[in-house]
Amino acid sequence: MKAIRIYGSSGHATVSLDEIAVPNPATGEILIRVHATAVTPGELEWSTTWQTQKGAPRVHAIPLHEFSGVVEQVGPNTEGFKKGDAVYGLNSWFSDGAAADFCLTTPVEIAAKPAKIDHVQAAVVPISGLTAWQALFDHGKLTGTQKVLIHGGAGGVGSFAIQLAAWTGAFVATTVSTANIEFARSLGAAEVIDYHKTRFEDQVRDADLVLDLVGGDTFHRSLHAIKQGGKVVTIATSSESTDDPKVKAAFFIVEPSRPQLTELARLIDTGILRPIVSEVVPMANAAKAFLSPKKTAPGKVALRVLTE
């Protein structure tokens, strides 16, 4: 099969489109024929890209852990799915990812693909949708009577977070560039701040929750945008490697979740949630999209692996 693999080291990474063997599903595993995957900026800097679960150096990792595709083969003693099922999901950060014709996953990492969208649209959901869900509800404990400030509202995670927070009834404020103001409003943001022109903490001081998708200075300034007892949750790549205890306490890494993927699919199929694809890149151009992900539109860059 064709697979994109990472070479070099953190900060000096290159990628190559290689020809390698199709993996075999072991007990408890499922082999997916990948139709599409998506690019999350920052993956080349994540520790899991360069280290195994036991902390040993990791070589030639296949990146991009979210996918939409079809079950090709089910390993022994593996329940819940059968060959031909259309599924989407997020596999383990320590497994080889989905920038390949096939990838391995497990039943707890996947769910039935949303029926009303195609594989390319479904592929941008698992990481961004699950991250937004877990940040807002699992870590942020957001309720429908609260106010949330979402940084980076036009990005992959931000575009899901605005929609999910608005769906619960919360008051949604967000920060975006000038060009994305109308886009953020169309997703349900009630207060849109152009972060190039306005310091968000001058405008918002009473948030119950701030979702920091940017990191660094934005995290620290966000502490001035919450009311007493409020909370900041961060997912930014720069927040992973810091020693600052406040940032560490606010940081989490998204986890696969079949129930949450099932709920996201339901929200998509009922028209409540809209996945935003900023661009569709063919596998042949994947290296460029992955090494220097420059977006020209809001949402997330999808990688088409199989032309349907």
Ligand X SMILES: NC(=O)c1ccc[n+]([C@@H]2O[C@H](COP(=O)([O-])OP(=O)(O)OC[C@H]3O[C@@H](n4cnc5c(N)ncnc54)[C@H](OP(=O)(O)O)[C@@H]3O)[C@@H](O)[C@H]2O)c1
Nearest distance in Å: CB 298, ligand X: 6
The residue among 25 and 152 lying less far from ligand X, judged by its C-beta, is 152
**How many Å apart are CA 304 and CA 255, to the nearest integer?**
24
The residues binding ligand X (CB under 6 A) are 40-42, 127-128, 131, 151-152, 154-158, 175-177, 180, 195, 213-214, 218, 235-237, 253-254, 300
The residue among 31 and 276 lying less far from ligand X, judged by its C-beta, is 276
Tokens of 115: 């029926």
Nearest distance in Å: CB 30, ligand X: 23
Sheet with 226-234, strands from edge to edge, namely: 191-194, 171-176, 147-151, 207-212, 226-234
212 CB-contact burial (10 Å; exposed 0-12 / middle 13-18 / buried 19+): buried
The residue among 71 and 225 lying less far from ligand X, judged by its C-beta, is 225
The residue among 204 and 235 lying less far from ligand X, judged by its C-beta, is 235
In single-letter form, the type of residue at position 114 comes to P
Select from 69, 72, 48, 86 the least CA-distant residue to 255: 48
Closest residue to ligand X, based on beta-carbon distance: 155
Report the first-to-last Cα separation within the chain, whole angstroms. 17
Nearest distance in Å: CB 278, ligand X: 8
The residue among 111 and 236 lying less far from ligand X, judged by its C-beta, is 236
Nearest distance in Å: CB 40, ligand X: 5
Place of tokens 């391995």: 104
Nearest distance in Å: CB 140, ligand X: 13
